[in-house]
Structure formats: C-alpha cells, structure tokens
C-alpha cells in the first residue's frame, strides 16, 4: 500500500511488492528470494551484512513509466533492461525515476543497493541506530503520459473572513508547448480550472481553492480534507493526483506552541523505524500497533528520530491526531563529519525531499534538523543557519527546532522557533531531575533562546528487558521505571515546558561499533523491547502521562 488512501483514480499504479530475486555475489551463487519491502538483515546469513546487494524483478508493459521508491537503504541505483536509469542516496526519503519508450513485453527492473559506510556517505555513518540494507519501503510502478502531476501542496490560512486554501501544484513534462487544462479542487467544493502551456521539466502553478465549509484539523478532531488535481485535454483526464491535508495553523507566541489556537503540551516518544522482526522495513500493521501502544500510554506525539519517516506512518498519525516532530537525517555529527564533502548536499537534499513529500501532513507540527550536531561552534552554526533558512523557504507555516545536548555551550538557540534539549539526569549523571531542569532553564534564560517554547526532546534511562536485581541497579527494569517517574514528573510539573519526548519508545538495534555502551548491541532505553514486549516502565509512563493527559 502506497498510502492509506487512494491517490489516483486515473493514473495506473502497480505496487511491486513481494518476492524479488536477491543476490550479493557477482556470480549470483547466493541467488535467493527476498521480500520487498524488506531488509536483508532479517534473512538468515545476512544479519550483519554490510555492502552491496542486488534486487531484481520483472514487469509487463510498453511506453512511459515512473518508478517511485519510497525508501532504499541507503543508496539505490536503478537499471531497466540493463540500462542505468538513476540513483539516490538516503534510506529515509522517497525518490523516483522515469523511463520512456519501452517496447511491448516483459522488462527487467534491477536495483543495486548499498548500505556500506563508505567515503561518499556523510549521513549514514556508524551510529547509535542501525543502517539496514534493502528496499525498506514500497516500490510503485506508474504508467505516465508526456506530463504528470508531481505534487499538490495545500497551504491553509485563517483570515478575518475565514479559512483560505492555496494550492501549489508541480507538473513534470517531457514536452514543451502543449496546451492542457489544470483543474483542482477540495473534495466537495467547487473546482477551479486554468489553461496551462506545458514547459519541459518541472513547472509550478499556484491556485486559490474555494473552501466554503472547511472543518478545522485538531489533534482531538483530526478532520482530514482531500484535494485533487487533474491535467485534462478537453474533458479527457490525462493525469490526476489526490492528496490529503488539514485546515490548520501552528503558531508560537510567548513561549507556547498553539495548534489552531489551542496550546499544545507534548507527551511524546522518540521512535526509531526499527523492529526486531522487520528491521527498518516496518509493515503498516506493525506501525499501527506502535501507535496503539502510544495511545494506550496516553501519549500524544512522536519524534521521528533521527530521519524522515514512512509516509504511511504519517498518514496513520494524521488520521489519529498524533502530533509529529519530523526531522531530517542526522545524529550526533561532529564538525569534521559536518565538513564532509557530501554533507551539505546530502543533508539539504534530505530536507527538500522531506518537505517536498510530507508538506501536507497536518500531524507534523515542527520540522527538526541536526540532532546533537556541532551547534557549539561557529562552523556548525553556519550550517544550522543555512538549513533553517532552507526550511523556511520551503515551508513558512511550521515552527522549526533542533535537539541540542550542548548544555551551556550551544551558540545556536537564536536560530530555531522552539528550543529543544536532550537531557539525561539520573542516568548519565546523578543530578536530580528537577534540579537539572532548573539549571537548563536558567542557562537558556541567558541565551538568545530565552522566551521561546522549550521542549525536552529526549529524557530517559536504560533497562535490559527482563533484568531485575537486588538494589535495582542501573539497567534493571525497576531502576528505569524509577528514573522515568522522577524525570517525567519534573518536566510535566513545569508549566513553562511545552512538553517531553521520552527516549525512547522501543529498544533499537545499533552497530557493533557501539557495543561498549550498548548491551545486546541495542539501545536499551525503550519502554518496550524490540518486539514491543513491555518493561516495568510501561506502567509508570502510562500512569504519569495519564495524569497529565487528564489535565491537558
Ligand atoms: C542522544 C541521541 C540519541 C541516543 C541517546 C542515548 O541524545 O540523540 O540518538 O543516542 O543520546 O541513548 O544516549
């Protein structure tokens, strides 16, 4: 399933889901079947394989096609009938290629996948999460004409006389000069039509869309709207695209964050796309299982640490009113890593692709960047400044943030709209939680971050699943529960704090490079383990989030 709703009535789509041929050796001596979407680490013998793998399937057809890859980890290179069509870096953002003029018959699609930590890779590096190998999200084959609709971004603004909706429509064309009609409308409302002369490549058209009876989107009442755009010649529809959006406005003022005028207070979880059975290729049902647990825990938000997430997960959050902090791909990169020859291009590409494909999701209340990177240095600051500028140029409707761990040394708190800090009192150091939070707030008050909303973007402790010991030592489930109890109370009792994201929802795999600090080669700070089996802290979090949810 590409999305949780139909995106086309006219454009023909075929999801290439199922068993593909897979091999890693040039002589194909290890040829076998592999599930797509899927990652090779879930297949016996490939649990720790880091390198290049080949995936191959066939499809019947003729003419012009678009191949959409929702995620290939971490670099994919596409061949159709042996011809190289295109390539993309980064496991966490959608990309696509077009192939035109195919002869009638069966065609071979091969994807060369690499998850190596090589000299070209600036973002996928040894880290406290695992870079899997495979085609981790859906592949969609689409039949296209000479022009197709690439995206419809809807911006909603509440004015004196009510809501307005502006659509920014991007059309991709292989021809120049042809005249077509562009029609667009919000479901149930009057459509607007504009004559369009196609330009070769990408062109953008802005249309104001009538909306007489808009229902506002709020987390409590997640009213989703659909928007449809069509390219027509006469009354014949050449191509169509449907997306969803919400009438929402997010604002920041006087240290608070407002969602359609209501102050939001975050009771959230940091969630890696990682699962003990599926790696990072988490199927829809398992995504929803996670969100069922989040709701059972009286949580109301997810931080997509530390990269853009699967669109279907965002669809599920949209439908259930679960707020999302989505962030571009980066974790804990130092100045040297931020100076990598490919860092700026790979990081900016990730931001463009993230916002270009996720703009309409009303659940996303903030865009985050560069988790715990070098925001203590002038060099790092320049990159933070550039990236926030890029985000604002792509989306002026959402506040920005970044999660810092540089207490007392961060020099970038003037740049984001929301200040966010990762703190681990009682785990990495034995300061009582309330005392440390007080120190952090007092320091922020001396910086350019003063007066801005404050989110505690990470707080938590580790527990080895099932481990108990006299005296409740660190890594016991009892100690994790006790630490979280004190941490969450300290943060949630402070009305000046917008909210908290627990680190983390579920235990997640890390690379062997991190074995020393990560028993089981896992980040064990989940309140459930990698198979979503609950730890003692599950009940603690549910009790405390429940108390605060009731007060919200
Ligand atoms: C950092 C980082 C997380 C995780 C966490 C931890 O705050 O942002 O990705 O590594 O520390 O578990 O210590």
- CB of 372 closer than 6 angstroms to any ligand 1 atom: yes
Same domain, 128 and 157: no
> Is the Cβ–Cβ distance between 369 and 389 less than 8 Å?
no
| Bridge partner list, 73 | 134
CATH number of 201's domain: 2.60.40.10
Residue 143 structure tokens: 């039949």
Q: 231 C-alpha vs ligand 1 centroid, how far in Å?
A: 47
Residue 203 belongs to some domain of the structure: yes
Sheet with 147-159, edge to edge strand ranges = 147-159, 162-173, 201-209
Same domain, 73 and 212: no
Same domain, 465 and 525: yes
Residue 434 belongs to some domain of the structure: yes
The bridge status of strand 147-159 relative to strand 192-197 is unpaired
**The tokens 């209340």 sit on which residue?**
365
Same domain, 336 and 482: yes
Nearest CA to ligand 1 atom 3: 128
Residue 1 belongs to some domain of the structure: no
pLDDT at 552: 59
Residue 382 structure tokens: 């320049």
Residue 120 belongs to some domain of the structure: yes
CATH number of 381's domain: 3.20.20.80
- CB of 128 closer than 6 angstroms to any ligand 1 atom: yes
Same domain, 533 and 393: yes
Q: 510 C-alpha vs ligand 1 centroid, how far in Å?
A: 11
- CB of 331 closer than 6 angstroms to any ligand 1 atom: yes
- What is the position in ligand 1's atom list of the atom closest to the CA of 129? 9
Q: 549 C-alpha vs ligand 1 centroid, how far in Å?
A: 26
Same domain, 325 and 224: no
pLDDT at 425: 98
Segment holding 94, helix H or strand E: none
| Cα R_g (the chain), whole angstroms | 24
Q: 383 C-alpha vs ligand 1 centroid, how far in Å?
A: 21
> Is the Cβ–Cβ distance between 257 and 499 less than 8 Å?
no
Nearest CA to ligand 1 atom 12: 523
Same domain, 237 and 376: no
Out of 143, 172, 197, a domain closes at 143
Q: 379 C-alpha vs ligand 1 centroid, how far in Å?
A: 23
Q: 513 C-alpha vs ligand 1 centroid, how far in Å?
A: 15
Residue 357 belongs to some domain of the structure: yes
Q: What is the block-wise mean pLDDT of the chain (552 residues), using blocks of 10 residues?
A: 95 98 97 98 98 98 98 98 98 98 98 98 98 98 98 96 96 97 95 97 97 94 98 96 98 97 97 98 98 98 98 98 98 98 98 98 98 98 98 98 98 98 98 98 98 98 98 98 98 95 98 91 98 98 91 64
Residue 254 belongs to some domain of the structure: no
Distances from the Cα of 366 to the Cαs of 2, 95, 236, 311, 420, in angstroms?
24, 23, 40, 16, 11
3-state secondary structure of 437: helix
Nearest CA to ligand 1 atom 4: 128
CATH number of 118's domain: 2.60.120.260
Query: What is the CA 543 to chain-centroid distance, rounded?
Result: 28
3-state secondary structure 24-90: CCCCCCCCEEEEECEEHHHCCCCCCCCCEEEEEEEEEEEEEEEEEECCCECEEEEEECCEEEEEEEC
Q: 182 C-alpha vs ligand 1 centroid, how far in Å?
A: 47
- CB of 274 closer than 6 angstroms to any ligand 1 atom: no
pLDDT at 213: 82
Nearest CA to ligand 1 atom 9: 128
- CB of 542 closer than 6 angstroms to any ligand 1 atom: no
Q: 37 C-alpha vs ligand 1 centroid, how far in Å?
A: 28
> Is the Cβ–Cβ distance between 66 and 21 less than 8 Å?
no
Residue 2 belongs to some domain of the structure: no
Question: Ligand 1, from 273, 523, 525, 527: best to mutate by most atoms within 8 Å of Cβ?
Answer: 523
Q: How many helices, marked H, and strands, marked E, lie in the chain?
A: 8, 30
Distances from the Cα of 185 to the Cαs of 48, 193, 195, 198, 243, in angstroms?
49, 9, 15, 20, 11
For the whole prediction, is pTM greater than 0.85? yes
Same domain, 346 and 239: no
Same domain, 101 and 228: no
- CB of 525 closer than 6 angstroms to any ligand 1 atom: yes
Same domain, 358 and 238: no
Nearest CA to ligand 1 atom 5: 503
- CB of 270 closer than 6 angstroms to any ligand 1 atom: no
Exposure string (b/e) for 191-230, b if CB count within 10 Å is 16 or more? Answer: eeeeebebbeeebeeebebebeebebbbbeebebbbbbbb
Same domain, 173 and 138: no
Nearest CA to ligand 1 atom 7: 422
Q: 402 C-alpha vs ligand 1 centroid, how far in Å?
A: 14
Q: 370 C-alpha vs ligand 1 centroid, how far in Å?
A: 13
Segment holding 338, helix H or strand E: helix 335-338
- What is the position in ligand 1's atom list of the atom closest to the CA of 462? 12
- CB of 422 closer than 6 angstroms to any ligand 1 atom: yes
Same domain, 133 and 222: no
- What is the position in ligand 1's atom list of the atom closest to the CA of 458? 7
> Is the Cβ–Cβ distance between 368 and 266 less than 8 Å?
no
**Which structural domain, as residue segments, surrounds residue 151?**
147-245
- What is the position in ligand 1's atom list of the atom closest to the CA of 504? 12
- CB of 524 closer than 6 angstroms to any ligand 1 atom: no
Q: How many domains does the chain have?
A: 3
Residue 350 belongs to some domain of the structure: yes
């Amino acid at each position: 399933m590409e999305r949780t709703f139909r995106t086309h009535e006219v454009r023909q789509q075929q999801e290439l889901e199922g068993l593909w041929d897979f091999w890693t050796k040039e002589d194909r001596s290890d040829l076998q079947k592999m599930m797509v979407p899927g990652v090779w680490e879930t297949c016996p013998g490939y649990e720790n394989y880091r390198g290049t793998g080949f995936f191959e399937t066939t499809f019947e057809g003729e003419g012009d096609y678009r191949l959409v890859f929702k995620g290939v980890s971490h670099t994919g290179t596409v061949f159709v009938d042996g011809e190289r069509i295109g390539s993309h870096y980064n496991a966490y953002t959608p990309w696509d290629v077009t192939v035109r003029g195919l002869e009638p018959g069966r065609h071979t699609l091969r994807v060369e996948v690499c998850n190596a930590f090589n000299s070209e890779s600036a973002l996928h590096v040894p880290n406290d999460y695992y870079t899997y190998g495979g085609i981790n999200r859906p592949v969609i084959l689409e039949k296209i004409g000479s022009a197709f609709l690439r995206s419809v971004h809807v911006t909603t603004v509440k004015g004196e006389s009510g809501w307005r909706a502006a659509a920014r429509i991007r059309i991709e064309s292989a021809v120049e000069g042809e005249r077509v009609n562009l029609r667009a409308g919000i479901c149930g409302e009057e459509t607007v039509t504009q004559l369009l002369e196609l330009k070769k490549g990408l062109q953008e058209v802005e249309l104001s869309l009538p909306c007489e009876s808009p229902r506002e989107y709020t987390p409590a009442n997640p009213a989703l709207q659909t928007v449809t755009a069509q390219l027509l010649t006469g009354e014949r529809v050449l191509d169509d695209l449907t997306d969803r959006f919400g009438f929402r406005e997010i604002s920041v003022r006087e240290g608070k964050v407002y969602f359609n005028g209501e102050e939001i207070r975050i009771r959230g979880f940091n969630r890696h796309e990682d699962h003990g059975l599926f790696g990072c290729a988490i199927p829809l049902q398992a995504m929803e299982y996670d969100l069922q647990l989040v709701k059972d825990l009286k949580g109301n938000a997810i931080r997509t640490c530390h990269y853009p997430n699967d669109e279907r997960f965002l669809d599920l959050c949209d439908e259930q009113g679960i707020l999302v902090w989505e962030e571009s791909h980066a974790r804990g990169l130092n100045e040297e890593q931020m100076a990598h020859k490919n860092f700026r291009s790979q990081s900016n590409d990730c931001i463009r692709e993230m916002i270009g494909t996720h703009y309409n999701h009303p659940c996303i209340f903030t865009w985050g960047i560069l988790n715990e990177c070098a925001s203590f240095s002038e060099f790092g600051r320049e990159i933070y400044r550039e990236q926030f500028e890029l985000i604002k140029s792509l989306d002026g409707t959402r506040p920005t943030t970044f999660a810092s761990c540089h207490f007392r040394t961060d020099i970038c708190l003037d740049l984001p709209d929301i200040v966010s800090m990762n703190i681990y009192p009682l785990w990495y150091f034995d300061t009582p939680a309330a005392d440390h939070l007080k120190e952090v707030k007092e320091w922020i008050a001396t910086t350019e971050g003063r007066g801005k909303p404050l989110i505690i973007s990470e707080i938590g402790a580790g527990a080895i699943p099932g481990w108990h010991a006299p005296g409740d030592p660190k890594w016991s489930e009892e100690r994790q529960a006790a630490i979280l109890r004190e941490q969450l109370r300290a943060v949630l009792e402070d009305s000046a704090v917008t909210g908290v994201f627990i680190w983390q929802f579920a235990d997640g795999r890390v690379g062997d490079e991190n074995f020393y600090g990560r028993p089981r080669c896992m980040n064990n700070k989940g309140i459930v383990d990698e198979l979503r089996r609950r730890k003692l802290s599950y009940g603690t979090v549910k009790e405390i989030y429940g108390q605060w949810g009731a007060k919200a």
